[in-house]
Amino acid sequence: MKSRILVVGLLLMVLMMFACGKEEPVSPVATQEEQAPSLAKQGVGDPAILALMYQINDDLAAQGLSLAVEEIELFTIGAGRPSNRILNQPFRWVPNDARRNAQGDDLTYLIDLSDGATASGLTAGQTEAALDRSMTTWDTAPDCADKLDIVKRADTGADPDIFDAFFGFGGFGNPFLADIVNAGWLPRAFFGAVTGAPDNVLAFSVTFIFLTGPGGPPSDINGDNRLDTALNEVYFNDTFGTSGEPRAGNPWGINVNLPGIDVETVGTHEFGHSFGIGHFGPPPNAVMNPRYAGIRQSLLPPDGAAYCINYGSWPNP
């Protein structure tokens, strides 16, 4: 009898606790602020790159901007490099996000033609066409995300990027001219300043997230348990193909096999980061493997699966 009374009593206590929890709901805003991860300096990756990310985020806060660098992903030839993340939480674009001047449910991209030519002899028109094909691959290949339209915006000549400004390689532009910006081919010195390894990093992607305020916690305005992506910038290394430099024998080209470097392949990889997909494998083989393996212009099943995880429910959370 005592055991039956004890069980009944425990059940009543659980029910009372549940009822009390329902009587005092917590507002969505309070929940976001209380549960949002801190931007404390506990990131994962290369310590030197993380230090740069922390400094940039401090600078952004000092400027009164509710932005932070969240991730820098390096695409290499030869030895791979670790991913560099401030927070261990996925991020995704928010449909209709007024903070980034969103074009409804679309995502937009822009190719900065002012840095589109390569030292290896490619014109801005050639690299632009290759990068357009890279974006079309992501836009059309995964059937699961047919509600997501990726729209190109024209280069008006205005400066569309900001990351290079922190290293003295450009001005602080307007980062909301498009969601995704291909910033073009920059010199070896820039890649040395950012990565410390200018001779094996082909390109890198920088993703910024929105904060609830300058220096504050990250935001999740639509409650999808993902950080809100603010902008993404992609930079290509013009060391490859520059006469007299260590990678002169690995020139950028169009549909070229090794030792050449295929623009469309690298662009397709970098756009994957623009959509919040990280590195994985090999195995399995994928566009999103962290090291360059020759021409790979079509998505493989792991790439499509990762894209579907992020955008299969688009535009819903």
Q: What is the DSSP letter of 115?
A: G
Non-local (6+) Cβ contacts of 104 within 8 A are: 95, 96
Name residues whose C-beta falls within 8 Å of residue 210's C-beta, 6 or more positions apart in sequence: 66, 67, 99, 100, 218, 219, 221, 227, 228, 229, 230
- pLDDT digits 0-9 by tens, 241-291: 999 999 999 999 999 999 999 999 999 999 999 999 999 999 999 999 999
Residue with more model confidence, 15 or 200: 200
Categorize the per-residue pLDDT at 79 as very low, low, confident or very high, splitting at 50, 70 and 90.
confident
Lowest mean pLDDT among 38-52, 166-180, 223-237, 259-273: 38-52
d(CA 296, CA 286): 8
Tell me, what's the pLDDT at 261? 98
- CATH number (domain holding residue 65): 3.40.390.10
> What's the pLDDT tens digit per position in 128-183?
999 999 999 999 988 888 899 999 999 999 999 999 999 999 999 999 999 999 99
pLDDT score for 142: 80
Query: Which of 88 and 17 is assigned the larger pLDDT?
Result: 88
In a domain, 34, yes or no: no
Report the SS3 class of residue 52. Answer: helix
- Judged against a pLDDT cut of 70, whether residue 2 lies above it is answered with no
Amino acid at 303: D
12 domain residue, yes or no: no
Query: Which of 20-24, 43-47, 286-290 shows the lowest mean pLDDT across its residues?
Result: 20-24
Share of the chain above pLDDT 70, in %: 87
Residue 37's pLDDT band (boundaries 50, 70, 90)?
low
The answer to whether residue 119 is domain-embedded is yes
Report the candidate in 132, 122, 140, 193 with the shortest Cα–Cα distance to residue 164: 193
In tens, the pLDDT along 114-139 reads 999 999 999 999 999 999 999 999 99
d(CA 32, CA 225): 10
pLDDT at 46 over 70: yes
What's the number of CA atoms in the CB half-sphere (13 Å) around residue 206?
Answer: 26
> Would residue 90 count as lying in a domain?
yes
Percent of the chain's residues with pLDDT above 90: 82
pTM above the 0.85 mark?
A: yes
Residue 109: beta bridge partners?
Answer: 152, 180
Q: Is the pLDDT of residue 13 over 80?
A: no
Q: Is residue 197 part of a domain?
A: yes
Domain span at residue 138 reads 41-311
In a domain, 23, yes or no: no
Cβ 204 vs Cβ 75: under 8 Å = yes
Q: What is the mean pLDDT of residues 20-37?
A: 38
Give residue 42's pLDDT: 79
* Inside any domain, residue 17: no
- Given a cut of 60, is residue 25 above it in pLDDT? no
Over the chain, what is the mean pLDDT?
89
Q: What is the pLDDT of residue 141?
A: 84
For residue 71, being part of any structural domain is answered with yes
Taking only Cα atoms into account, the Rg of the chain, rounded to an integer number of angstroms, comes to 22
Q: Each residue of 178-198: pLDDT tens digit? A: 999 999 999 999 999 999 999
- Mutual angle of helices 263-274 and 301-311, in 10-degree steps: 30
Task: Please count the structural domains in the chain.
Answer: 1
Position 293 scores a pLDDT of: 96
